[in-house]
Structure 1
């Protein structure tokens, strides 16, 4: 048995990462250790940067897998038995040599599917992918736009850059949640008018396409999504019959009247008052985090007033969201800080070597390196598991696998270069919130997408209002890249859009 697999089995761990030259040479010589596929308690399997060229049929034995990462290998085809993993939520097959994927993948409960940098020339109809949020098909050989399915009601990010697509599907407007569409560097000459009917589309990248309309091409190169969509709405034809056009117009008018009537009848009990971001405070995102935990979104909640009871419930709220919307921190991680404990100046989100990252972890008395903290937490986890005679880890110990073997760790530092956050593991004790906290800096990080970060933040803000049963004030926070170019501002005008039965009104100044 491979020692890595032996260790996981003995400790009854739920995750395993296999990578590097030694692993690669073993795979080349004898293939994967068959013992791996007896570990049916695994929920996270990561095999990357190896000579792996095929997945054994026994993959279906790993019935509890929620995350399967197989990027940067030598896969030319993917075993159809992967579609039997009926708990799989995240599948990363990027940077392989795949030419197609099975239609049965549509039946998986996937939230994120990454097929970036393969050799795909087609993509199947995903008629059952109701939970799919992020689909990355960039840098392949696709000639046709992936068929839009009305069942894909949660698809918010569709990445198609670097293909050979000649036209966008005319039924793209049946994707009601689509917020990001990147179809740059393809072969588009015209755009369908239906593109303007994607009402939530806020991030559209059409650059490096041979668009025939020169004025449209100029808008694409120089303007933002709204201006481009306004032009598409006015000048690009739709594929719709005259009869259907009349019905559509009538239905739209009816819907608008219904929405106005419905909105006027809502009894708002609480308010979220949004204040604009200031230039005195922002978060700088370093390029190095792209390889570890790329996405970062934040905001400031002001005029907070805790009681002992609401403070306890707020901590419980974070834990609940980590288990639910954050998918046990696989999708995202929440961190909270007492803003008044931060020194004046900007924050920086970057990476550091495990031996150089210095942090005073939450509720601990001493400063230690990231490597020492990881080792200490791992020892504590094993001792606690044996003491309690458990088969699994508890608390933050169960998230250690998310950074295991990472060459660098992500961290958020203040203007004094002190680490205040080490996602997805812990915060620093120097900025921890307490019952006396009146101003909270909220951050969410993710390796999946910006949209997921925003969804988590919107959820926690909504739940905070309902928990406190009072209005709250939220100040926007800007994040910028190393060139000082704006990356994200949250909450923007397209954020904090709640269902009609949520009694919260958002006021923007």
Structure 2
């Protein structure tokens, strides 16, 4: 299971209050965590693969706020319509056909958060992305590029860029041969005549998914706005990953700006897709499965503490609104 590392100081800062350290260690299992280890400064906690919304400290804090009655009910995010587009190349249909994107405005990134973002990205690569085969994620400094954006098929020996943490411009094939990420993930695209690229309106290459980002868009502690791209072979997985990233990384940001993905072979899609799922929970069914005598009011109170919205329909029915980052919730049971 993924192990999430965080410091007490980092967590308490985002939580907005300080807990006794032992109290925190006792609470974490109540939000589905297995505490692997801890010391005076840091905690290492495991979370199940069906809860990728916990794979960054923002997701953990969001759950703790509910458990501690600091904030209950479904979180609300400021999502603003924008005119940014990401246009998909027809040639990618049989290579890596799907992409999702959004822009997160007004982030504050210190060294701890920079580390958190990188670890969050890699955890999602493993759990949702199946080690990047199904989904790959790019997180960029938005202020280094200019829209509109393009998801295009690049020519391996002609297109060139400076890969992340490198100094020299190389062709796409050279990056596959010389960069450690290129060597590790080349098998995912090397059989194709062209490779996927994310580029901006000035033809700056931002990334070669699922391999490596460009050094041009590297995140730093001066980064204020994020451009997110998620590419993959499965549209549902791509959408789920983008929604989770958008929700978590905007917890401490000003807003999320929508990006419209324009396809030549699929309906256009605007992201993020935060329209919640709505389902009914029945008191008698819940009581039978849990083995307790429950009431609609008690179920509502519990659901709100776990960051759902819930309202009473009748004495046996509670209507539940499920946020889109909770991809583990499939049905009533």
Q: Give the TM-score taking structure 2 as reference length.
A: 0.59
Instruction: Verify: 1:295 aligned to 2:119, yes or no.
Output: no
Instruction: Verify: 1:354 aligned to 2:156, yes or no.
Output: yes
Could you say which residue in structure 2 is the equivalent of 1:12? none
Instruction: Verify: 1:304 aligned to 2:102, yes or no.
Output: no
Q: How does 1:104-119 map to 2 (within 5 A)?
A: none
Task: Return the structure number with greater strand share.
Answer: 2
Q: How does 1:274-293 map to 2 (within 5 A)?
A: 274-278=79-83, 281-293=84-96
Could you say which residue in structure 1 is the equivalent of 2:51? none
Q: Deviations over 1:255-296 (max 9, x none)?
A: xxxxxxxxxxx8148542111132xx2111110111211001
Can you give the 5+ residue segments of structure 2 that lack an aligned partner in the other structure? 1-70, 279-302, 310-322, 324-333
Post-superposition offset of 1:464? 2.8
Instruction: Verify: 1:481 aligned to 2:263, yes or no.
Output: yes
Post-superposition offset of 1:423? 0.3
Q: Distance in 2 between matches of 1:442 and 1:496?
A: 23
Asked if the contact 1:458–1:495 (Cα under 8 Å) also holds between the matched residues in 2, the reply is: no
Task: Name segments (4+ residues, structure 1) moved above 6 Å.
Answer: none
Out of 413, 418, 426, the residue aligned to residue 212 of structure 2 is 426
Q: How does 1:205-354 map to 2 (within 5 A)?
A: 267-268=72-73, 271-278=76-83, 281-343=84-146, 345-354=147-156
Q: Deviations over 1:307-346 (max 9, x none)?
A: 2111111111111111112111121000011111113x31
Asked if the contact 2:105–2:257 (Cα under 8 Å) also holds between the matched residues in 1, the reply is: yes
Asked if the contact 2:132–2:210 (Cα under 8 Å) also holds between the matched residues in 1, the reply is: yes
Q: How does 1:64-463 map to 2 (within 5 A)?
A: 267-268=72-73, 271-278=76-83, 281-343=84-146, 345-377=147-179, 397-447=183-233, 449-463=234-248
DSSP-derived class of the 1:272 partner: coil
Q: Distance in 2 between matches of 1:291 and 1:269?
A: 38
Post-superposition offset of 1:462? 3.4
Asked if the contact 1:272–1:471 (Cα under 8 Å) also holds between the matched residues in 2, the reply is: no
Q: Distance in 2 between matches of 1:341 and 1:440?
A: 10
DSSP-derived class of the 1:361 partner: coil
Can you give the 5+ residue segments of structure 1 that lack an aligned partner in the other structure? 1-265, 382-394
Q: Distance in 2 between matches of 1:400 and 1:331?
A: 14
* Superposition RMSD in Å: 2.8
Q: Distance in 1 between matches of 2:214 and 2:74?
A: 36
Post-superposition offset of 1:458? 1.7
Q: Distance in 2 between matches of 1:460 and 1:428?
A: 20
How many residues in Structure 1 have an aligned counterpart in Structure 2?
217
Post-superposition offset of 1:504? 8.0
Post-superposition offset of 1:427? 0.7
Aligned in 2, Cα 1:504/1:471: closer, same or farther, shift over 3 Å?
farther
Post-superposition offset of 1:410? 0.7
Q: Distance in 2 between matches of 1:490 and 1:352?
A: 24
Aligned in 2, Cα 1:471/1:419: closer, same or farther, shift over 3 Å?
closer
Asked if the contact 2:103–2:226 (Cα under 8 Å) also holds between the matched residues in 1, the reply is: yes
Q: Distance in 1 between matches of 2:237 and 2:305?
A: 22
Compare relative contact order (CA 8 Å, sep 6+) and give the higher one, 1 or 2.
Answer: 2
Q: Distance in 2 between matches of 1:495 and 1:442?
A: 21
Aligned in 2, Cα 1:470/1:450: closer, same or farther, shift over 3 Å?
same
Q: Deviations over 1:50-93 (max 9, x none)?
A: xxxxxxxxxxxxxxxxxxxxxxxxxxxxxxxxxxxxxxxxxxxx
Post-superposition offset of 1:503? 3.4
Q: Distance in 2 between matches of 1:356 and 1:268?
A: 52
DSSP-derived class of the 1:330 partner: coil
Q: Distance in 1 between matches of 2:129 and 2:248?
A: 15
Aligned in 2, Cα 1:324/1:417: closer, same or farther, shift over 3 Å?
same
Asked if the contact 2:78–2:256 (Cα under 8 Å) also holds between the matched residues in 1, the reply is: yes
DSSP-derived class of the 1:356 partner: coil
Asked if the contact 1:287–1:482 (Cα under 8 Å) also holds between the matched residues in 2, the reply is: yes
Aligned in 2, Cα 1:435/1:424: closer, same or farther, shift over 3 Å?
same
Q: Distance in 2 between matches of 1:363 and 1:473?
A: 29
